[in-house]
Structure 1
C-alpha cells in the first residue's frame, strides 16, 4: 500500500476549484515519487510540499503571509518514523523551506565534526547559510511575495492602522500546509510548511518548526502513525498537538472517535489553553495497520473549512475533499471529524 495525502490549511476557502486542482496535483506528484523504485517517504513528502510552496495559492513558500513589518519569514518541519526531525524558521530567501527541513532531518543520525550534536531547528541567517551549504535554491525576498499576499497585507495593515486603538480587526487563521506519505513497508513521514499567521510579529515561530507540535511520525512492528497540524500555532505548540494525536491513536479500534475525543479533551478543553477563547485548529492523520496492510486517512478541524487531497495505490486518480463546519458561527468551539479507509 502506498499513500500520499496533503492539506492546504485550516481556514477560509477563497477559491475551492483552485484548491481542488492544487491538492490533487500535490498528492499525485508525491505519489508518483513514492511509487518509483529509488525514492522514500521523505522524498514524497518533500515533493508534495514543494508543489504547495510553489503554487502562490497557499501560505507557504511563494505567497506566504507577510509579517507586521511587511517582510517574509517562512518556516517548515519534517519528521521520519525513526524519530528524526528537522526544521527551519524565520527564513526569507528560500524558495522551498521544506527542502532545508528535510536536510536537517536527514543529518540527525550523524554527529558534526568534533563530536557536536546536529541541530534540530535552525533560524534566520544561520538557516540561510546552511541552505547554501546544502545547495538549496535561494532567491531574493521580493520574489517570494505574491500579488495576493501583498494585497492581503495591505488590506489588514490599513485596518490595523484605522482601528489601532480598538479591538475591531479579526485576522483569518488560514495557516500551514502539510503532507503525509506511507509506503508498502509501513515507513511513514510527515511535514509542514508555513509563512505564519498574517501580520505576525517579526521573529515569531509557529508550530510548524516545533518538535511534536506541527508534525509527527512513528512506527512500531504493527502500526504506523503520522499527523500534521494547522491553525493557531501558539495553541498547537502548548499542547504538542501532532504528537498528542498520534499517541491517542496507538492500538485504537475506533480512530475517528478517538480523534474527536483528543480534539475535545486535549485541545478545546486543554488546561494549558485559555478558556472561553476561540481555538482554531485542524489536522490530517494516518493510522496504518502494517500486519493487515490497511489503514485510515483521518482529518479534523474546528475552523470553518479544511481542504485536503490524497492518492493511494487503490486509486487511479487523486481525490479531493472539502470539509466544512455546518454551523459557521460556532467555528473554534465545535469539531468536525472525517475519515477514509485505504
Structure 2
C-alpha cells in the first residue's frame, strides 16, 4: 500500500444518525471511486456474564500540523504520524495512561526533523529555538511551557509541570501550570528533563530557512530606509555575499542529509532521523477516495466522505500555491503545532500540543501550543453523568488568530454540549467544527481585521459510555492526521487537502464499544 493525498469533493459527510460508525473522511475528486476495502476483524469484548466490557479499549489520534504539506514531503509527514500513533498504541495496550501515550506520541513527532516542534523547529529572529508545549489530563489539569529554550522534548517539560501540580507544597503555595523562558528550562532540568545546547536543536534545513528569511528581511529593511531617506546600519551580521554562500552551502548539505521527498523508509533512516520498520508503507493503511473500510462496529461498511464548504475562487492546484524563490518545487509551509489526543483503557482522555512557533518570531513569543483552552482543551467527565462524556480538542494554524478566538475551548464546549448552538438549533459534531471555523474563527473581528491570512486545523475527540468519536476539520491547504484504536492492526493515516481557497475539508471516525 501507499500513502495518498486527498482533496475535497462535494459529498455530504456521513451523519452519525445514519450509521453508528463512520470512517476517516478525507477529500479527493477521483472520476472513478475506489471501493477497495481493508478487513479489520473486531472481536467483541464481553464479561463472563455476557455484558459489554469496553474497559480494555483505547485509541490515539495525532496530527502533524495544519498548513501546506508539499506532495514531495507528504510521505515523511505521514510516516511521522504513523510512527507516533503506533508507538503510543503499544503503550496504551500495555496499560499506560492517556497522558503517557500523548507524551510519547508528541515526543516522537518532536524528534522528527520534518515537523515544526522540538528538533528542526523554526528559529527566532536571532537564530535560536524556543518551543511551546501543553499537556492536559482527564481531570482538566494542565502543564505547559512557553518560549522554552534548550529542551529537546518540550512536551516532557510540560509533563513535568503537570506532575508537579499533584504535589502538596509547603506554606500553602500553589504549583504553577505554565512556565516560560529560561525559568521553564531550569524547572524542567530540576525535574529530570535533560537540557541540550542551542545548536543541537537546529537542523540544517531550519538554519537554511532562517538565513534565507533573514537575508530577505535585511534587504526589506534597507529598502525601507532608502525610501524614507533615513540611512543607517541594517541589522545584518554578515555581508550579503556571505549570507548567500552560507544559504547555498546549507541547502546543499540539507539535500544530502535529508531524505529525498520520494525516498523509501530505508533511505530516510540513513539521513540521521531514526525510523523503525513500522514506518514501512505497507504498515500504514492507505486511505483512498471513497474507499470502503471495515467498520469498527458490527454495522455495514461506511464510506470515506468529506463536506467542503462554499469558498472563494477555485484554486487550480493546491501544489501551485507554495513555490520557492527559484520557481521550482513547491515547499512546505507548516508553521505551527503538532498534537495528540488519547483515550486509555480506563476511559480517561488526555491531549497535548507542541510547536516551534513561526519563523523569525520575537524572542519570548508565546503561541497557542503553550496556552490551555487555546491550543489544547479537555472537558472532564462529570461524575454524575451516566454517559461519562469527556471531550478533548487540539488546534493548529496561525497562532495569533487561534489565541484571539480561543478556538480549542470553543470547539470543546460546543461538542460537549451537543445539540446546543448560538441559535439553539440542533447540530451535529462535524457541523460544529465547520461552523466554528467559518463563523467563530474566520468571522471574528480580530481575525477579519488582521493583515495576515488566517488558517486553522482542529482535532476533536469525544469519549462516551458507547464509544470514542473522532472528528477533524481544517481550512488550511492541508492537514496530516492519523487515527488508531486497539482493534486496528495499523494506524489509519491521511493527508487531507481542501479543494479550493476559502473552503474547508473535514472527516472523522467512530469506535463503537462492542455490545
Range class of TM-score, shorter chain: over 0.9
2:510 is the alignment partner of 1:336: no
**Between Structure 1 and Structure 2, whose CA radius of gyration is higher?**
2
More divergent stretch after superposition (194-203 vs 271-280): 271-280
CA distances 1:109-168 after superposition (whole Å, capped 9, x unpaired):
4342221111111111211111111111111110000111111112222222223357xx
Structure 2 counterpart of 1:249 = 415
* Among 479, 491, 515, the residue aligned to 1:318: 491
- How far apart in 2 are the matches of 1:307 and 1:202? 28
- What does 1:52-71 correspond to in 2, within 5 Å? 52-71=109-128
- How far apart in 1 are the matches of 2:356 and 2:399? 11
Structure 2 counterpart of 1:89 = 146
Contact kept? 2:123, 2:361, Cα under 8 Å: yes
* Among 434, 438, 445, the residue aligned to 1:271: 445
Structure 2 counterpart of 1:233 = 399
- How far apart in 2 are the matches of 1:107 and 1:92? 20
Structure 2 counterpart of 1:44 = 101
Contact kept? 2:148, 2:182, Cα under 8 Å: yes
2:175 is the alignment partner of 1:2: no
- What does 1:132-211 correspond to in 2, within 5 Å? 132-164=189-221, 165=223, 172=333, 174-211=335-372
- Determine which structure has greater relative contact order: mean sequence separation of CA pairs < 8 Å that are 6+ residues apart, divided by chain length: 2
Contact kept? 1:172, 1:198, Cα under 8 Å: no
Secondary structure in 2 aligned to 1:181?
Answer: strand
More divergent stretch after superposition (181-190 vs 105-114): 105-114
Secondary structure in 2 aligned to 1:4?
Answer: strand
- How far apart in 2 are the matches of 1:11 and 1:271? 22
Structure 2 counterpart of 1:22 = 80
2:261 is the alignment partner of 1:261: no
Contact kept? 2:442, 2:448, Cα under 8 Å: no
Structure 1 counterpart of 2:263 = none
- How far apart in 1 are the matches of 2:84 and 2:503? 29
**Runs ≥4 residues deviating over 6 A:** none
Contact kept? 1:188, 1:218, Cα under 8 Å: no
Q: Offset at 1:251?
A: 4.0
2:455 is the alignment partner of 1:280: yes
Stretches of structure 1 that go unaligned for 5 or more consecutive residues are none
- How far apart in 1 are the matches of 2:179 and 2:124? 19
2:179 is the alignment partner of 1:122: yes
Contact kept? 1:227, 1:285, Cα under 8 Å: yes
- How far apart in 2 are the matches of 1:213 and 1:340? 24
Stretches of structure 2 that go unaligned for 5 or more consecutive residues are 1-56, 225-324, 326-331, 420-427
Pick the structure with more strand per residue: 1
Structure 1 counterpart of 2:160 = 103
Secondary structure in 1 aligned to 2:132?
Answer: strand
Secondary structure in 2 aligned to 1:273?
Answer: helix
CA distances 1:79-133 after superposition (whole Å, capped 9, x unpaired):
1121201101122211111001012112224342221111111111211111111
- How far apart in 2 are the matches of 1:239 and 1:322? 26
Distance 1:341 1:232, change over 3 A: same
Contact kept? 2:433, 2:458, Cα under 8 Å: no
What's the TM-score once normalised by structure 1's chain length? 0.92
- How far apart in 2 are the matches of 1:35 and 1:326? 37
* Among 60, 68, 74, the residue aligned to 1:12: 68
- How far apart in 2 are the matches of 1:95 and 1:52? 11
More divergent stretch after superposition (106-115 vs 95-104): 106-115
- How far apart in 2 are the matches of 1:234 and 1:161? 24
What's the TM-score once normalised by structure 2's chain length? 0.62
Secondary structure in 1 aligned to 2:447?
Answer: coil
Secondary structure in 1 aligned to 2:418?
Answer: coil
Q: Offset at 1:172?
A: 4.0
